[in-house]
């Protein structure tokens, strides 16, 4: 994929360590350290998971995921996990609270992100465009990451339930877990697919990864 964007391996690994904390050392994710360029794998995933009517967009989507992840300091595999969890890569997905597209962005949120992060937003219809949607979604995740000082359980949860609700839970000495575990289960499973060359059944791999993820989420929760 000669024309694809490149992801900094250093950036990817740094974010993986942020996500997994003490669980990184013995995780399947660490096996990805030796990969010089994970971009081809990202394109393979977008090509496989996007509906067939969007097949011609898989390369541009992969490029956007890699480019925006690198720009904001994310592991692109983490972004794949978020998309898989939010919409199962269905660009036409609508949520129950006006969320739209791959990363389930609300039009009101998209408008705010566009102004805050200087990302073009051309109205509600543009959220059905895969590339536009991930640009806004990754920018939103970056904003939340800054708000929560790179504390991954908090900014991941905030993407799902909102920053205010996360702060309320933390103020009551709680720690949001359900959404974090769902995303991290997929994250570990996608790396397992990468390591074993099995990209066809992430759900099955997710179940196999469940015990690993449980240990990982305990580790990242203890990093507070």
Q: Does 109 or 217 have the greater pLDDT score?
A: 109
Which CATH number is associated with domain 9-221? 1.10.530.10
Q: Give the Cα separation of 41 and 30 in Å (integer).
A: 16
Domain ranges of the chain: 9-221
User: 102: closest CA among 78, 74, 75, 130?
Assistant: 130
Burial class (CB in 10 A: 0-12, 13-18, 19+), 122: exposed
- As a whole number of angstroms, the distance between CA 10 and CA 119 comes to 25
Given a cut of 90, whether residue 215 has pLDDT beyond it is: no
Residues 29-73 have pLDDT tens digits of 988 777 767 888 899 999 999 999 999 999 999 999 999 999 999
Q: How many CA atoms lie within 13 A of 59 on its CB side?
A: 5
Tokens of 169: 């839970």
Q: pTM to 2 decimals? A: 0.87
In the prediction, which pLDDT does 38 show?
82
CB 113 within 8 A of CB 148: no
Look at residue 100 and tell me whether its pLDDT is greater than 80.
yes
If pLDDT is split at 50, 70 and 90, which confidence band does 1 have?
very low
Q: What is the pLDDT of residue 199?
A: 56
- Tens of pLDDT along 179-205? 999 999 999 999 988 877 655 555 555
Tokens of 209: 């990864």
What was the pLDDT predicted at 98? 96
Q: Tell me what pLDDT residue 221 has.
A: 45
Residue pLDDT, tens place only, 102-156: 999 999 999 999 999 999 899 999 999 999 999 999 999 999 999 999 999 999 9
């Amino acid at each position: 994929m000669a024309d694809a964007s490149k992801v900094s391996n250093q950036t990817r690994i740094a974010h993986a360590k942020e996500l997994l904390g003490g669980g990184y050392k013995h995780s399947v994710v660490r096996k990805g350290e030796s990969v010089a360029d994970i971009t081809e794998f990202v394109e393979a995933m977008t090509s496989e998971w996007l509906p067939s009517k969007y097949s011609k967009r898989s390369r541009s989507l992969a490029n956007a995921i890699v480019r925006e992840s690198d720009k904001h300091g994310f592991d692109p595999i983490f972004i794949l996990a978020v998309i898989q969890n939010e919409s199962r890569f269905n660009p036409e997905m609508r949520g129950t609270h006006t969320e739209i597209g791959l990363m389930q962005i609300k039009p009101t949120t998209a408008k705010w992100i566009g102004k805050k992060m200087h990302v073009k937003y051309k109205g509600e219809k543009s959220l059905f465009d895969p590339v536009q949607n991930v640009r806004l979604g990754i920018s939103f995740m970056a904003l939340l990451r800054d708000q929560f000082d790179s504390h991954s359980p908090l900014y991941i949860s905030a993407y799902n339930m909102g920053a205010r609700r996360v702060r309320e839970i933390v103020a009551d000495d709680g720690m949001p877990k359900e959404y974090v575990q769902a995303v991290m289960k997929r994250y570990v499973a996608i790396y397992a697919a990468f390591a074993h060359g099995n990209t066809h059944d992430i759900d099955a791999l997710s179940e196999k990864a469940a015990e690993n993820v449980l240990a990982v989420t305990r580790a990242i929760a203890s990093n507070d």
